[in-house]
Structure 1
Amino acid sequence: MPFTEIADRVWVLRHPWLDLNLTVVAGERGFVLVDTHGSHAAAREVLDEVARLSPGPLVAVVNTHEHFDHTLGNATVLDTLGTVPVHATEEAAARTPQAAQRAKDAYAATPQDPRAAQVLATEVRPADRTFSSAAFVDLGDRLLELVHPGRGHTAGDLVARVPDVDVLLAGDLVEESAPPALGDDSWPMEWPTTLDLVLALLTPASVVVPGHGAVVDRRFVEEQCDDLRAVAETIRELAQRGVPVTEALAAASWPYPAEALEDAVRRGYAHLPPLRRQLPLA
C-alpha cells in the first residue's frame, strides 16, 4: 500500500478500505495531505506511509468534501504531525460533524464490520480554514489551487489543482472504481455543469486523481460528465411528462444500475422547478 509518484512530488496512495485515494503534494516549504481517511486507525496507516516519503513538514490538510472517509482522520493527522490549517469549502466544513455522525450511526448498526469500532472511536475535527469559491496553499516553489466548481457529489465539493505538473485532484466529483455516488446529499441536476467547470481546468494531457479508484485522464472525466448529464436530462424529461417519482426508475434506461439512482431521482425531482399549468389556447 505505498504511495506512488504520479508527477513531480505528487504521490497518491490508493487505500484498500473503500478504494480511497489520498494524495501528498510537496514543495520546498513542506507538504499538503489531501483527505485523511475515515478513522484514527486508517489515518495512522496513511501517516506510516507518508513517513516513508520524507516530504518535509506538514503545511496544510485539505478535505475535498465532508464525507467521513475524507475527513475523519483530521484529528489524528494534526495530533501526530502538528496543528496546521485544514482547508475545505464553507459548506463542507459546516456539514462535517453531521456527515460523521451519519457514518457512525451506520457503523453502530453493523458492529460486525471490522472497521466499525475504529470509526465509532474516532474524534471528529472539521476544517478550520474555509472558502466559498477559490483559495490556494503556498508551498514555496509551487501553489496548490483549491476551487469549488459547484454542487455535485455534495454541496461543498472542491478540486485541488497542481498547475505546474497538470494534475487535478477531483475528490468524489469523479470516481473510477464505481459509478458516481449519487447519494441523499448529492445534486444530480447540477453535477454535469459542475464537471463542465472542472473540465475547463484540464488540458488534454492532464492527470486526474478521482476520489476512489485508478488515476484517469481528461477523456474519462468527459465520459462521466456525459453519463451524469444523461441522468439529469432523463430525470427532467420524466418529470415534464408527468411520470411519478415512484415510477421513474422503471420508466427509462439509465447509464448506471437503477438501484444506484434511487436518491438521484428523488432529489432530482425535488430540485426541479414546479411545472406551470397553462390553460389551452382558444
Structure 2
Amino acid sequence: MSAGRGFQEVAERVWVARYEWFDVNVTAIGSDRGLVVVDTHGSAAAAGGVIDDLRRLGAGDVAAVVNTHAHFDHTFGNGAFRAAYGDIPIHAHEVAAAETITAGERIKAAVADDPDDPHREDMLATEVVPADHTFSSAVVLDLGDRLVELVHPGRGHTAGDLVVRLPDVDVVLGGDLVEESAPPWLGQDSWPLDWPLSLDMVLGLTTSSSVVVPGHGSPVDRDFVEEQRNTLGIVAETIRDLAVRGVPVDQALAAGEWPWEPRLLEHAVRRGYEHLPRSQKRLPLV
C-alpha cells in the first residue's frame, strides 16, 4: 500500500489511508453506527484532507475517534474532526489523554524554532484537543453490528499506547508499537525495556492470518510483528548487559552492538539506563 492513494480496504469495512507526511496511517472502521477513525494526522489542515478522503469514500459519517497515543502526528487532527462531525467522543488510554496537551506544546515549541519546516504554520495554528473518553487496561466499543476492542498492552513507544482489535475480521491496529516504513522510533518518552513485553501482548491478540496495520507504513502480518519484537528485545538486552557491566551511559551507545543505526537509539539508551532498577546497575568501570 503506497502513500497518497486515499483509503484502501484491508478487510471488510476497514479502510486505511497512508499519508506522505510522516508516512502516517489513518484507519476508518465501518459500522451501522457510523465510522470510527483511528488517529487523525498531524495538524488541523492535514486532518481536513483526511476528512475530504473520508467523504469521497462514502462509507458514512464519523461517529468516534481513537488516538493510539499522544504524539502530534496521531492527535493534532482531533479538533478538525470535532469541527466537521460535532461533539463526537475521542477515545485514548488515560495516560495518552493526560499527555496530549503537553506533548503538543513540546512539538509546537520545537517547530516554532524551525522556520524551514513546511508544516510549521499549520501545526502552530492547530488547537490541541485531547481525548475525553479514557480507560486503563481495556475497553470494548459496541458499534451495533461489530465490536471494537481497545487494549493497552503496556508501555513501549510511549507510556500510553493502545492497540485496536477487530475480532470479526482478524485485524489489529498497532499504532506506533509497530512500524513498517522505518525502525520503531525510540524517542525521549519511550520505554525500551518494556516495549518487547508489550509486543508479546500484541502478539497474543493476533493469529497467523491477522492483518496488522502499523502506525507508519504498509500493513504487515504476525511474523513481521514477532521479528520486530525480537529486534527490540535485542536492544533491551544490550542496554541491560552494558549497565550490568558498568559501562557508563555516555559510553554505552559506542560500546554496544545494535540492530539499527546507533544514532536512532540515543534516547533508547538513556531511557533504558534510567528505567533499570538499581540492582541491575554497577558502578562505572574505571
TM beyond 0.5: yes
Pairing 1:58–2:62 present: yes
- CA-to-partner distance for each residue in 1:163-215, whole Å, 9 max, x for gaps? 10000000000001111010000000000000000000000000000000111
User: Could you tell me how far 1:29 is from its partner in structure 2?
Assistant: 1.2
User: Could you tell me how far 1:102 is from its partner in structure 2?
Assistant: 1.1
Paired with 1:277 and 1:217, the residues of 2 have a C-alpha distance of 37
For 1:222-261, what aligned pairs fall within 5 Å after superposition? 222-261=226-265
Instruction: Count the aligned residue pairs.
Output: 278
Amino acid at match of 2:254: A
For 2:20, the equivalent position in structure 1 comes to 16
Paired with 1:263 and 1:55, the residues of 2 have a C-alpha distance of 41
TM-score, structure 1 as length reference: 0.97
- CA-to-partner distance for each residue in 1:64-114, whole Å, 9 max, x for gaps? 000001001000001111111100000000000011011111110112211
For 1:115-134, what aligned pairs fall within 5 Å after superposition? 115-134=119-138
For 1:52-91, what aligned pairs fall within 5 Å after superposition? 52-91=56-95
Give the 3 Å change call, closer, same or farther, for CA 132–277 of structure 1 in structure 2: closer
Moved over 4 A (4+): none
User: Could you tell me how far 1:276 is from its partner in structure 2?
Assistant: 7.4
For 1:271, the equivalent position in structure 2 comes to 275
Check conservation: 1:90, 1:130, Cα contact below 8 A.
yes
- CA-to-partner distance for each residue in 1:15-51, whole Å, 9 max, x for gaps? 0100000000001111100000110110000000000
Paired with 2:142 and 2:158, the residues of 1 have a C-alpha distance of 26
| Structure 1 runs not aligned, ≥5 long | none
Paired with 1:163 and 1:247, the residues of 2 have a C-alpha distance of 46
Paired with 1:276 and 1:229, the residues of 2 have a C-alpha distance of 17
Paired with 2:274 and 2:116, the residues of 1 have a C-alpha distance of 36
- Give RMSD over aligned pairs: 1.2
Paired with 1:196 and 1:157, the residues of 2 have a C-alpha distance of 14
Check conservation: 1:58, 1:82, Cα contact below 8 A.
no
SS in 1 for 2:74: helix
User: Could you tell me how far 1:138 is from its partner in structure 2?
Assistant: 1.6
- When structure 1 is superposed on structure 2, of 104-113 and 174-183 the one drifting more is 104-113
For 2:139, the equivalent position in structure 1 comes to 135
User: Could you tell me how far 1:277 is from its partner in structure 2?
Assistant: 9.4
| Percent sequence identity over aligned pairs | 62
For 1:171, the equivalent position in structure 2 comes to 175
User: Could you tell me how far 1:253 is from its partner in structure 2?
Assistant: 0.9
- When structure 1 is superposed on structure 2, of 56-65 and 195-204 the one drifting more is 56-65
| Structure 2 runs not aligned, ≥5 long | none
SS in 1 for 2:238: helix
Amino acid at match of 2:133: R
Paired with 1:151 and 1:256, the residues of 2 have a C-alpha distance of 21
Check conservation: 2:244, 2:281, Cα contact below 8 A.
no
TM-score, structure 2 as length reference: 0.95
